[in-house]
Chains A and B, each alone.
Chain A
Amino acid sequence: MSEITLENKMVREAIRDWVAKECPRDNIHEWDAADRFPDTLGKKLARLGFCAMTVSEENGGEGRNIQGACIVAEEIAARFLPLARWYTHQAFLGGLVLEALGSPIQRRSLAAEAARGRWLVTPAGIEETQAEMAVYRLGDPQGQPETFLVHGEAAFVTLADQAQCFLVPARAENPGGAVTVFLVPADRQGVAVAAVPKIGCRGAGYGRVALDGVALGADDILGGGEARDRGEAAWQRIVAVCRLMTAAEALGLARGVFDYTLTYARQRIQFGQAIGKFAALRNRFAEMSCDIEAAGLLVAQAARCADSDLAFHREAAAARLKAGEAALRCAMQGLQIFGGYGYTMEYDVQRYVRDAAGLGAAADGEEAARDHIAALLGL
C-alpha cells in the first residue's frame, strides 16, 4: 500500500542531491536573515523539470505525478521551507489546480507556464471566514464584454510579493450570493500588496492583499465564464490541494529537524556518553520517528488519491493535521535536545522552530482541517 515507485525513489534521490548542492546551510542562514532567497533557485528547479510533475504532457507538463511532487516538496522543506513553499505554489496551485479546474485555454497557457516555473499562484482569502470573503458585482451592465468588479482583503497571503496571480474566492454581492473563483493578476489595477513580516519561513513573504474594485473579465474566472457562481466546489478542491502541499512541507520539516537533531544527539557527549544514548532521549527519538512515519503514510495516501483522480479532501486534511503536529513537536523536541546551542542563531534548529510555529498558522489552518473531518463524520 505504501510502496514507492522506482521512479519516485529516483525523484527523491535527485532532489535530495540537488538540495544538498544548491542549499548549503551557510547560504540558508543568509537567506533567512535577509528574508529573501535567490530567484535562480526556482529557475533551476523548473529547468530540471520538477515544476512540471503536476501537469500532464498534453498541457506542457511531464505527466502528472503528485506523489513525486510531494516528495520534492518534502525534500526541499527538510532543508529550507521557504523554497518548498515557492515550489508548491508553482507546481500545485499554478500547475495542478489550473489543469484540474481551469478552462481549456487556462490549462494550455497558464498550467503550462506553471510547469515551466513561471506562473506562481497563491490563494488570497482562504483563511477568512465566509462573512469576510471578497465580493464581486457586475461592472457596467451594458458594457461589452462583461466585467466584474472585485472588492476584498486577505490578511496573510503567502508569497504575495512574488506571485503572478491570486486565486480569490468572491461572492456575488447579493445576499447569499454564490461563489466565483477569480484569477486576479497581481499587476492589475486596484490590487495592492503590503508586506507583513513574520518570524518564520523567511524568504516566502506574507502580504496583505487589498482588492479595490479590481476589474476582471470572464477569462479571469477559474474555469472560464461558465464557472461563474459555481466556484464552491472548486474552492473546496483548492483548499484540499493547499492541505496536501502543507502536509508535504510539514513532513519534510519534521524529518529535516529530526535528522539534524539526531546527528547532534549522537555527537554531543555529556556524563561520558552521547546524549542520544540516555533513555529519556532515546525514547523521544523513537516517538518522533513514529510520528514522522505515520505522517508520511498519510501524505502518500492523499497523494495517491490525487494521482488516481479520486477525491482526496479528507485524506489531505488528515495528512495536514498529523504532519503539522509532527513538525511542531519535532522542532520543539529538537530545540530542547540541543540545549543552549539550539537557542543560538548559529544552529538551524531555531530556524526549524520558527518555521514550524507558522505551520499551524498556514492559510489552511488546523482548526479548519479538524472541522472538515468532523463534518465528514456527520458531526
Chain B
Amino acid sequence: MDHRFSPQQEALREKTRAFVKEEIPEEKAAAVEAADVFPHDLMAKLAAQGFFALNVPRDYGGDGGTVVEEMIFFEEISKALPVLAWTAGDVILYGSNIIKTNGSQAQQQAYLPRLVKGEMLFCFALTEPDAGSDAASIQTAADPVDGGWVINGNKMFISGASAAHIAVTNTRTAPSKYQGITAFLVDTGSPGYKAIPIKKLGYKGSDTCEVVYDRVRVAANDILGGPEGLNQGWPQMMRLLNGERLVLSACALGIAERIFSHLIPFVRQRSAAARPAGRYQDIEHRVVELVTEVEAARRLAYYAAWRVTEGKPSVKETSMTKYLCAETAKKVAVEAMRIMGNHAWAVQSSVQRFFRDVPILSVGGGTSQIQKNIIAKTLGL
C-alpha cells in the first residue's frame, strides 16, 4: 500500500494554496457570500492558471490527473471559499469527468479542450422535486420526435443551472427503473429550458436552481455517449459516484480544517486567560477529539482515493469516506458554534459561514443515510 502524494501532487497543493492566498482573502469570501452570485471572476482566474486542466487527459490538453488531484484542489479551495469548489465542479466534475468517462469520442473532442480553457460550464441535472434519495425514480421524460428527442419535466437543486452552457439532463426513456434512464447534453440556450435560482442557507453563489424543461428539443447525438448511450444513464452515473463521493469528502475536510484555524486560536486565548488555570481543559479535549476525528477521516479519504486510482473495488471505502467526512465536518462546525458562542454567531465571523455551508455535504451526492445503506450492503447486511 503506497498512497503518498507524488511531487506533482504536492506541487498542485502548493499552487492551489498560493491561489487561495492571493485571490481569496477573507473579505473576498465574505463578499461572494453576501452577493450570492456565481463567482465568474474567480472562475476565470482558475482557468487562466490552468486548474481546469487537472483531470483532463493529456490528449485533450489536460494534465492527466486522477481523483487524487481533484481532491487536493477541492480540499484547498474549500478552506477559503467552499462555493468556489462547487462552481469549479461545474467544469471539473460535471464537465470534464462526465465527458471523459462517458462521452463519445466526438463529444470528448468537442468539449474537453474547451473545458480546459474554462470556456464552458456544465451542470448535472438528476434530482427532481419527488426524486431525491430515490434518484432512479425520476420522471422527467424524453420522447423521440422527428429523429430527435423532446424533454419535458422539472429538476430540483441543480447547481450552476443558469450559468451553465450544457445541462447533463437525466431523463426517463423507458419504464425500467434503472435501465430506462438516458442522459442528454442539453444546450441551456434551447427554447423551453428555464432555470429558477433557489435561495439557500449556505454555499451562496452556487447558482442552485429549479429547472423547467418545457418541450426542449435535443438531437440523438446529444445523448451522453452518443446514440449508444440510450438507456445507459444509470450505469454511466455509477461510474462517476466514487469520484464524486471523494471530491465532496475533500470539500468537507477543507471546511473542517479551516474551522480549526479559527477555533484553535480562540480556545488557546481563552485557555490562557482562564481563572482558575485549567478551566478550559474539557474544551481543549473536545477540540482534540475533533482534530483526531478529522485526521482519521482524511486518512480514510486519501486511502479510498488510492484504491480508486489502483482500480481496486472501492464502493465501500468511498461511501465510508463520504459518510465520515461529511458528518465529521458537520460535527466540527456545530461544536465550533457551541464553543465560540457569540463570537461565531455574529455575521462578521467566518465560522458561521462554514457552519451554514457544511450541512449540505451530508445531503448532496447521496445522503449519509444512503451511504450507510450502501455500506451495509457491502457488509452483507
* B32-89 interface with A by 8 A CB criterion: none
CA distance A366 to B367 in the complex (A): 30
CA distance A357 to B201 in the complex (A): 13
**Contact A206–B346 (Cβ < 8 Å):** yes
CB neighbours of B184 from chain A (8 A): none
Q: How many A-B residue pairs have CB under 8 A?
A: 112
CB neighbours of A156 from chain B (8 A): 342, 346
**Contact B367–A127 (Cβ < 8 Å):** no
**Contact B359–A360 (Cβ < 8 Å):** no
**Contact A343–B200 (Cβ < 8 Å):** yes
**Contact B275–A131 (Cβ < 8 Å):** yes
> Contact partner of B330 among A332, A343, A365, CB < 8 A?
A332
CA distance A371 to B362 in the complex (A): 33
**Contact A197–B346 (Cβ < 8 Å):** yes
> Contact partner of A360 among B341, B346, B347, B352, CB < 8 A?
B341
Chain B residue with the shortest CB-CB distance to A284: B369
B36 to chain A, nearest CB (A): 10
- Decide yes or no whether A39 CB sits under 8 A from chain B: no
A245 to chain B, nearest CB (A): 17
- Decide yes or no whether B239 CB sits under 8 A from chain A: no
CB neighbours of B137 from chain A (8 A): 270-271
CB neighbours of A130 from chain B (8 A): 275
**Contact B200–A361 (Cβ < 8 Å):** no
**Contact A366–B133 (Cβ < 8 Å):** no
Q: Please tell me which stretch of A110-118, A134-142, A344-352 contacts chain B, meaning at least 4 of its Cβ atoms lie within 8 angstroms of it.
A: A344-352
**Contact A344–B200 (Cβ < 8 Å):** yes
Q: Given that A197-B347, A361-B345 are contacting pairs, would A343 and B334 also be in contact in the complex, using a CB cutoff of 8 Å?
A: no
* B350-370 interface with A by 8 A CB criterion: 352, 355-356, 359-360, 362-364, 367-369
CA distance A105 to B279 in the complex (A): 41
> Contact partner of B346 among A196, A271, A340, CB < 8 A?
A196
**Contact A200–B345 (Cβ < 8 Å):** yes
**Contact A358–B342 (Cβ < 8 Å):** yes
- Decide yes or no whether A143 CB sits under 8 A from chain B: no
- Decide yes or no whether B263 CB sits under 8 A from chain A: no
CB neighbours of B348 from chain A (8 A): 196-197
- Decide yes or no whether A353 CB sits under 8 A from chain B: yes
> Contact partner of A328 among B156, B198, B334, B343, CB < 8 A?
B334
B274 to chain A, nearest CB (A): 8
- Decide yes or no whether B283 CB sits under 8 A from chain A: yes
CB neighbours of A357 from chain B (8 A): 334, 337, 344-345, 352, 355
**Interface 1/0 per residue, B253-274 and A, CB below 8 Å:** 0000000000000000000010
A246 to chain B, nearest CB (A): 13
- Decide yes or no whether B157 CB sits under 8 A from chain A: yes
B236 to chain A, nearest CB (A): 22
- Decide yes or no whether B199 CB sits under 8 A from chain A: yes
- Decide yes or no whether B188 CB sits under 8 A from chain A: no
A278 to chain B, nearest CB (A): 8
CA distance A207 to B199 in the complex (A): 27
CB neighbours of A1 from chain B (8 A): none
Q: Given that A332-B330, A344-B198, A345-B201 are contacting pairs, would A199 and B283 also be in contact in the complex, using a CB cutoff of 8 Å?
A: no
17 A-B residue pairs with CB within 8 Å:
A131-B273, A198-B347, A198-B352, A275-B133, A336-B359, A340-B156, A340-B157, A343-B157, A343-B202, A344-B199, A344-B201, A353-B359, A354-B356, A358-B342, A361-B337, A361-B343, A370-B282
Q: Report which B residues bind A (CB closer than 8 A).
A: 127, 130, 132-134, 137, 156-157, 198-202, 273, 275, 279, 282-283, 330, 334, 337-338, 340-348, 352, 355-356, 359-360, 362-364, 367-369, 372
Closest CB pairs A-B (n = 8): A361-B341, A156-B342, A360-B338, A345-B199, A197-B347, A350-B201, A270-B134, A358-B345
A332-B359, A339-B132, A340-B132 known; 15 new pairs, CB 8 Å cut-off, are A130-B275, A196-B346, A197-B347, A270-B133, A280-B372, A332-B330, A342-B359, A342-B363, A343-B200, A343-B202, A343-B359, A353-B359, A358-B345, A361-B337, A371-B279
